[in-house]
Structure 1
Amino acid sequence: MDGSLTTPPTTTLDPPVLEVEDLRTVFLTDAGVVRAVDGVSFRVGAGETLGIVGESGSGKSVTALSLLRLLDEQARIVGGTIRFKGQDVLAMRPAELRAWRGDQAAMVFQDPMTGLNPVLRILRQVTEHIVSHGRMPPAEARQRGVGLLRRMGVAAPERAAASYPHQFSGGMRQRVMLAIGVANDPALLIADEPTTALDVTIQAQILDLLRGLNEEFGTAIVLVSHDLGVIASVCRRVVVMYAGEAVEEAATAEVLADPRHPYAWALVNAVPRLDAPIGARLTSIEGMPPDPLHLPQGCRFEPRCPFKIARCATEHPPMLEVAPGRRARCWVTADGRSLPRPAVPATPAAPAARDAAPPLLEARDLVKHFVLPRRSLFAPAEKVHAVNGVDIALGRGESLGVVGESGCGKSTLARLLTRLHEPTAGSVLFEGRDITHASPAALRPLRPRLQMVFQDPYASLNPRMTVGEILVEPILAHGRAASRQAARERVGELLTTVGLKPGFASRYPHEFSGGQRQRVSIARALALDPAAVVADEPVSALDVNVQAQVLNLMQDLQQRLGLSYLFIAHDLAVVRAFCDRVAVMYLGRIVEEGPAAEIFAAPLHPYTVALTSAIPEPGRQRVVLGGEPPSTLRLPEGCAFRARCPVARAACAEPPPLREVAPGRRAACHFPGDFAPHPTPVRSASLADHQRR
């Protein structure tokens, strides 16, 4: 399971498990007919892995749902064919569909919490398909169900089988969904964004499971994702979708090395690279996909394409063979030519060394415990130990990244530093002033200087207010404009600053895309001229192109306005591309801190080694951690990472201090650097290798 993509597909002469020809799916809306999937064709052979990649709204998830005829009522398949081992899926009667789904073809959905029944125990849900399809009697099915949970890496499967979905983490729930999907050994498994918003370690484990299913059982897999790194680590072939169409289809290694459609080119080059200079700009394409109700006459990507020619505006290109086994929907590459390499970004100036000047924002031995409600009158009170003695400092004009698995305390730390939570112990200093226990009245004049960008822009923007009203409110509340008219003029400047049109001020949040809403959140944070911005997962759920746009915007604003960022993320490649320094958190503590380039080149703490090895890149040597982080209700004695550490020793029974082990490098480990394998990417398929050429 090395993730190599150099082996060519072996299914050329075999009958395909899945054959899709000219699939057309529409949504019937009051405004008109939306062509969500418009003429998509592909084949998946036995034991083959196919990726479908594209940004939100490209039609990839609708394609996946169409394959199993799981569409909502307003959706219709109006053309094309879907054949499973020669059988026409679109001609199946309801009884035939029920017998086929979950038995020969199965699907793993994006959100396991909504995909699992919250009132049924886990084992009941895993065995339901086994019994209903008559594979075995209930008693044997229960044994198989426990075995499937064990095979999927669920700890203590006998106990987990009696649990409910809400008692599992996101990664564990996704494992349960995989166990349900493969319960009857299907010939075809469709996985729709199975790793979106998961930690990098959990994501790597899920991808390992998918590769294992493909290799061990010969399961044909269709993996839907907006992340090319995820696709590259599992799939040998890829279909790139844009505006409802397939715009390129080829071996994954070929698309990564030499994309033949400008949109695929943009996706490949928008992915953050581990070998790029710190602070280098990401390649991105501005603009939005076309309105599905009013599609352009020519190429649908033409308004955003940097390589367009006159023909692209008037003639809609078909899927053309641009090389043996490769197809692309592009007039520019129709004669077989390659697209030019992106310009090599200039190496940015190295971040200035921090001098003896006091930091802008600082935490000293910061602690936060949350007391849980008593389960009964006589039960002891329990505490969640969210943050457990954090020392961290953000310099002026600096970008400091904070990374770690879910539950490690990153978001709680952000709320402590911005004083949305009051610390249990320790202190917080901003611009040299102790704000640990400052009253709301004392904090009010400081709020404009210390702003926060939240993870979910839709939840943090009032849906009943226009964007203009959202931005005007803090300006007037803090007296930053003499009149409402002056405040509205300031709103126009802010929207222009973040790359939006001033006219958008009259729109409501639901009228924007995810990337545009995040730009509005950034505009709101900038409205009061802050010195520091705490950004909590600002790009975690964005497509790679939109992610690149937002990161480039934040870099531009930092250079123009001298901002300092505390940047929280679980995507290590993003942190590597954006941040000067990195702090790694585990169970409420910082276990390693140092310059970003040095942390990723030579991590010192075993946990950091495991995190960096889990970045989805073909051929990376994976360091598999056993189990999940310990409970935050009862902290372990000694080193918190000891139970999962590959090199734990007797000395780890004592908690290691966070100490300086090299100039500018701190690590909380008794044996820093003793466990540091250096993964080497597979050169023929690596994103980083392509971008170095």
Structure 2
Amino acid sequence: MSDAVLDVRGLVTVFHTDAGPVRAVDGVSFSVGKGETLGIVGESGSGKSVTAQSLMRLLDPPARIEGGEVLFEGRDVLTMSPRELTAWRGANAAMVFQDSLTGLNPVLRILRQVTEHVVAHGRMDARDARRHGIELLRRMGVASPERAAASYPHQFSGGMRQRVMIAMGMANDPTLLLADEPTTALDVTIQAQILDLLAGLNEKFGTAIVLISHDLGVIGTICKRIVVMYAGEVVEEGPTTDVLSDPRHPYAWALANAVPRLDAPIADRLPGIEGAPPDPLAMPQGCRFAPRCPWRIDRCGTERPPLAEVAPGRLARCWVTADGRSLPPRTVPAHAKPPESSTTEPLLVARDLVKHFPLPKKSFFGAREVVHAVNGVSLHVMPGERLGIVGESGCGKSTLARLVTRLHTPDAGHIRFDGQDIATLGGEELRQLRPRLQMVFQDPYASLNPRMRIGDILAEPLLVHGRARTAAEAGERVGALLDMVGLNPSWAARFPHEFSGGQRQRISIARALGLEPALIVADEPVSALDVNVQAQVLNLMLDLRERMGLAYMFIAHDLAVVRAFCDRVAVMYLGRIVEEAPARDLFAQPAHPYTVSLLSAVPEPGRQRVVLGGEPPSTLRLPQGCAFRARCPVAEPVCAEPPPLTEIAPGHRVLCHAPGSLKGMP
């Protein structure tokens, strides 16, 4: 591209490790024009983030850029002096990092961090920078920017922190913005707002944006062109709609088909990619995807294919499609029937659960504030059933999970598990309950002791609860558990940091299975995993359900995953369930305006948006009447009164005065 803002040519970045050199980025080339948004996708370890950090020259030893050019408006960034590089960063190019909490300084107020770059580059004095910073926060959609400017990062939600990160990146009106996974693990409504914000920056200011993500739905929403990376190299490049609808590289094909969609037929398993990426220290001689490719030919194992044109404007690194042919469409299997319960009695019944958390007093004479986390939730789970719980952050999903598993004691309400009232159990009675009611946490690394070997982590509950009498017996059981979740039993001697995110989640599931539970409560178990690893973990959970008759209470913010995995879904808002129905009914005909808004915010190309402004009200002061009234597009005066719980169809309950009044789903 002659008018390219960024032109990357043959970029090579090598990590020099004790085991040998690792070519994390191996000959990557692409261009981004003014006002264009380019998406880069691929699994963890494909080289996406290292590419972005190489472009900004943010890597430290043992990483080293050993080849190629990074031309910014014709000037090579790789040859800039430290002083030139400092002047270029922030003023001409900026980066938004994946984790907004670690990307912001926890001891500095928001305004200071937003205006720091403006003052440092000499664009404005402190007074003008303050006005500019507040206006910038307002432009990013931050409510009450004057008050927000004086706050600290921990006082913001994930979505608000990400808006602050983007405000910092746009403070000097850069020509190029690199966004590395800016919406990972965010709620669909907040994710939609961030994507709208990026699209607006691109349109209004002509900012060239490179958006890095493993979520093809996000990429397909705002990116005109896409680059697919695998094992450090570009394997396909082209217009986004063409690549997603007619991928010409088997890896791009597998990625596009591994993503659950709300409009796709429900299959009995989530499609995934067999095998694992190659060892970066021992790359295959031929095509790097050949060991996992279902269409590989003899030539794929011996010759490395070039990145060649396979159609006008389309590049692919594949011998199979080098002559311009397309890959066959995926066949969708029929939906599996749920196992029939041996009893009609629910396994778990919760009635009118309430949990409030008092906050410390701000002053001796001040009133004590209370967080209203769960405010009267009732639900049930049948044996072998998969119940999904969805909603925005702060709606009470995780607190509900901890109440059900009795990690928290409810302030009010009843919980019956397998016919036993467990709401007030304690001591030895509660300890005896634990084996049958297990939990899988969102962050597997934080829930695994980093100082213990995996074998010891899995053996500990077996020995504590008497499921193994000796260490040798526990070791045999540990080997069987690792084999059950698809891990090598010999890996029991490894530590948690020696595993990938998906493998650590499998270990967490193995620990939960060790005591042979009847119900597993899974709190966001796949939220930060790549689509392929996500499919592998969910398929494992489905297999275990069929083999062991497990029931799941599955908490997630990815609605397409919930639709593919769950039998029934409950939607939570501000500590209450506002809609509950069989998954097929809820996704086909959502009745509560909040559910309609959630589904419309899912990043899928062509999906009609029902814009949901703002964020949920504070849990410190619950609103009167309908909790959703302030954000509801179809609110009426009657909504000032508490809404009734209406059953509009068998098993389909809605907490709304006028269920079904908001239309707009495609």
TM beyond 0.5: yes
Question: What is aligned with 2:663?
Answer: 676
Displacement of 1:365: 0.2
SS of the residue corresponding to residue 389 of structure 1 reads: strand
Question: What is aligned with 1:329?
Answer: 317
1:71 aligns with 2:92: no
Displacement of 1:296: 2.0
Q: Select which of 15, 20, 23 maps to 2:3.
A: 15
Q: Select which of 329, 347, 351 maps to 2:335.
A: 347
Question: What is aligned with 2:281?
Answer: 293
Displacement of 1:130: 2.3
Q: Select which of 146, 151, 155 maps to 1:167.
A: 155
Question: What is aligned with 1:205?
Answer: 193
SS of the residue corresponding to residue 446 of structure 2 reads: helix
Q: Select which of 548, 556, 574 maps to 1:561.
A: 548
Q: Select which of 393, 407, 415 maps to 2:402.
A: 415
Question: What is aligned with 2:499?
Answer: 512
Displacement of 1:317: 1.8
Question: Please, what TM-score do these two structures have when normalized by structure 1?
Answer: 0.94
Q: For residues 444 and 350 of structure 1, what CA distance do their matches in structure 2 show?
A: 31
Q: For residues 586 and 499 of structure 2, what CA distance do their matches in structure 1 show?
A: 37
Question: What is aligned with 1:444?
Answer: 431
1:92 aligns with 2:62: no
Displacement of 1:626: 2.2
Question: What is aligned with 2:210?
Answer: 222
Q: How far does the alpha carbon of each residue in 1:105-132 deviate from its partner, in whole angstroms, 9 at most, with x for none?
A: 1111111122222222222222222233
Q: How far does the alpha carbon of each residue in 1:59-115 deviate from its partner, in whole angstroms, 9 at most, with x for none?
A: 100100111111123221110000011011111111211221111111111111222
SS of the residue corresponding to residue 659 of structure 2 reads: coil
Structure 2: gaps (5+ residues): none
Q: For residues 367 and 190 of structure 1, what CA distance do their matches in structure 2 show?
A: 44
More deviation in 88-97 or 273-282? 273-282
Contact 2:339 2:384 in 1 (8 A): no
More deviation in 95-104 or 113-122? 113-122
Q: For residues 427 and 248 of structure 2, what CA distance do their matches in structure 1 show?
A: 57
Question: What is aligned with 1:247?
Answer: 235
Letter in 2 for 1:325: G
Question: What is aligned with 1:684?
Answer: none
1:368 aligns with 2:330: no
SS of the residue corresponding to residue 595 of structure 2 reads: helix
Q: For residues 15 and 574 of structure 2, what CA distance do their matches in structure 1 show?
A: 46
Displacement of 1:376: 2.6
Q: For residues 366 and 654 of structure 2, what CA distance do their matches in structure 1 show?
A: 38
Displacement of 1:350: 6.1
Contact 2:267 2:333 in 1 (8 A): no
Displacement of 1:356: 8.4
Contact 1:279 1:580 in 2 (8 A): no
SS of the residue corresponding to residue 457 of structure 1 reads: coil
1:44 aligns with 2:52: no
Q: Select which of 611, 636, 651 maps to 1:649.
A: 636
More deviation in 656-665 or 186-195? 656-665
SS of the residue corresponding to residue 171 of structure 2 reads: coil
Contact 2:267 2:332 in 1 (8 A): no
More deviation in 75-84 or 495-504? 495-504
Contact 1:414 1:534 in 2 (8 A): yes
Contact 1:602 1:676 in 2 (8 A): no
Letter in 1 for 2:382: G
Letter in 1 for 2:439: M
SS of the residue corresponding to residue 445 of structure 2 reads: helix
Q: Select which of 421, 432, 440 maps to 2:419.
A: 432
Q: For residues 201 and 48 of structure 1, what CA distance do their matches in structure 2 show?
A: 24
SS of the residue corresponding to residue 533 of structure 1 reads: strand
Q: Select which of 565, 580, 605 maps to 1:618.
A: 605
Contact 1:470 1:524 in 2 (8 A): yes
SS of the residue corresponding to residue 368 of structure 1 reads: strand
Letter in 2 for 1:586: Y
SS of the residue corresponding to residue 300 of structure 2 reads: helix
SS of the residue corresponding to residue 290 of structure 1 reads: coil
SS of the residue corresponding to residue 210 of structure 1 reads: helix
SS of the residue corresponding to residue 148 of structure 1 reads: helix
Question: What is aligned with 2:571?
Answer: 584
Displacement of 1:636: 1.2
Q: Output aligned runs, 1:594-633, within 5 Å.
A: 594-633=581-620
SS of the residue corresponding to residue 230 of structure 1 reads: helix
RMSD: 1.6
Question: What is aligned with 1:9?
Answer: none
Contact 2:375 2:576 in 1 (8 A): yes
More deviation in 286-295 or 625-634? 286-295
Displacement of 1:280: 2.7
Aligned residues: 666
Contact 2:27 2:68 in 1 (8 A): yes
Contact 1:278 1:580 in 2 (8 A): no
Q: For residues 486 and 338 of structure 1, what CA distance do their matches in structure 2 show?
A: 53
More deviation in 202-211 or 435-444? 435-444
Q: Select which of 499, 518, 523 maps to 2:486.
A: 499
Question: Please, what TM-score do these two structures have when normalized by structure 2?
Answer: 0.97
Displacement of 1:278: 4.2
SS of the residue corresponding to residue 90 of structure 1 reads: helix
Q: For residues 169 and 521 of structure 2, what CA distance do their matches in structure 1 show?
A: 40
Q: For residues 187 and 618 of structure 1, what CA distance do their matches in structure 2 show?
A: 26
Letter in 1 for 2:20: G
Contact 2:266 2:334 in 1 (8 A): no
Q: Output aligned runs, 1:95-494, within 5 Å.
A: 95-278=83-266, 280-349=268-337, 357-494=344-481
Contact 2:339 2:546 in 1 (8 A): no
SS of the residue corresponding to residue 365 of structure 1 reads: strand
SS of the residue corresponding to residue 134 of structure 2 reads: helix
Contact 1:191 1:221 in 2 (8 A): yes
Q: Larger RCO: Structure 1 or Structure 2 (Cα < 8 Å, ≥ 6 residues apart)? A: 1
Displacement of 1:31: 2.2
Contact 1:454 1:537 in 2 (8 A): yes
Displacement of 1:293: 1.8
Q: For residues 277 and 222 of structure 1, what CA distance do their matches in structure 2 show?
A: 32
